[in-house]
Amino acid sequence: MLSGRRLDLLDPTPVDIEIEDIAHGLAFVARWNGQTRGDWPYSVAEHSLLVEKIFSRQAAGISARWKLAALLHDAPEYVIGDMISPVKAAVGAAYGVLDERLAAAVHLRFGLPALLPPEIKAQIKAADRISAWMEAVSIAGFSESEANKLFGRPNAPLVTGLKVELRAPATVRAEFIERHSRLLDEIG
């Protein structure tokens, strides 16, 4: 990693995980395999910031620790990349096991349980699907009816004022680190 840490992908440990490495990696990993409109790729870091905002809105008053879990929901992708669902299915269960091991190490590193409670995981997944709908119609060339079939139409008030942004990786990396820091401060 850029931090100098050595991360064993098959047996990751929390001590080898740094937020700067996560933020940097996610800021340079493109969602939608880079097949989006705009002058910048839409990064996983940008997506993660949006998912955390949506999650926080849909679960008003929820603890900062679960907001942190939402921010970090795709953290393993900082080293394994973002694969579209058909590719994940083709790779098989091994991808899921690798993702779960990395997620557990990330969670433990930042004071979260290795496995999230099912209801929290479901709420984060719901926010993730809303973000995917927004991305699909805003930058990935989907019609609203196509996105509705794949992701379900989001509740309009939930997404009012939110937008899909395409920004320079360094800008997104800095915002991701700042949001992470603020959530850790809230957790205390």
This prediction's pTM: 0.95
Give residue limits of the domains in the chain. 14-187
CA–CA distance, 59 with 92 (Å, rounded to integer): 32
- Sign of the dihedral through C-alpha 169, 172, 174, 177: negative
CATH level 3 topology of 14-187: Hypothetical protein af1432 (1.10.3210)
pLDDT in 10s for each residue of the chain, 188 residues? 888 889 998 899 999 999 999 999 999 999 999 999 999 999 999 999 999 999 999 988 999 999 999 999 999 999 998 887 778 788 888 888 899 999 999 999 999 999 999 999 999 999 999 999 999 999 999 999 999 999 999 998 889 999 999 999 999 999 999 999 999 999 98
